[in-house]
Amino acid sequence: MDKQKFIEAFVSEREIIDEGIKRESCLMIALENARVLNRCNKDGKSLSIDICGKLDGIIEFEPFIGLVNYLLILDMIGVVFGKQRDVGKRIEEVLLEFGEVICEKERKAISCLRNCLAHNYGLADGGKKIKFILNNSCDEMIILPDNEWSGNYSDKEESTSTTINPQKLIDKIEGIYSEVKKQVLEGKLNTKLTVEELKSRFTIIIG
């Protein structure tokens, strides 16, 4: 399988058969897992009552659980298809290039949310002077604070918090994935990685 065909399979198929070897795309695994953890079918098109019933009582559906996986998908897309090496910068690049998140402060906030959740499973970083409220009833995907937070953890004022609507952010990331897939299949987007690096880092061999 040539490089272009492999990349096309990587963004659209969970199972890839290449030179007789069965592999699975880590991007597709992550996407399907994120969807299930967000209580949707693996295709992401509808709520799965069956999944909700099976997982009820096993997993508490806090907004964290699916959102973390989606934010890690942003990072993976940045590694494979972006130009930036720094984690924060590559997530910001993906949000701008494929998600049309024009506001720099919003991009930085989403990148910081990824770090807070992925590193500590928390919602505040005193060093970066940012704290979050997750609110699914919020009308916007992200609302920046009226006042900058000092980093003082005793400050509970909502006016110094960045508010994120988890579902709207998840929808945005789904849109980013769709745009990346579209551009790859149209031959407009390629990866800076070699095929061997892509295979080694972002696929797993299955029996």
Sequence ranges of the domains in the chain: 3-122+166-205
pLDDT > 70 fraction of the chain, expressed in percent and rounded: 89
- pTM equals 0.90
Are 153 and 128 in contact by the 8 Å Cβ rule? The answer is: no
Return d(Cα 138, Cα 203) in angstroms, integer: 37
β-bridge pairing 130-134 and 142-143? unpaired
Looking at residues 181-189, what average pLDDT do you find? 97
**pLDDT one-digit tens code per residue, 147-175:** 999 999 998 899 999 999 999 999 999 99
pLDDT of residue 37: 82
CA separation (Å) from 155 to 147, 148, 162? 12, 11, 13
**Would you say residue 52 has pLDDT above 60?**
no
User: What is the SS3 assignment for 198?
Assistant: helix
Mean pLDDT of the chain: 89
Looking at residues 53-82, what average pLDDT do you find? 79
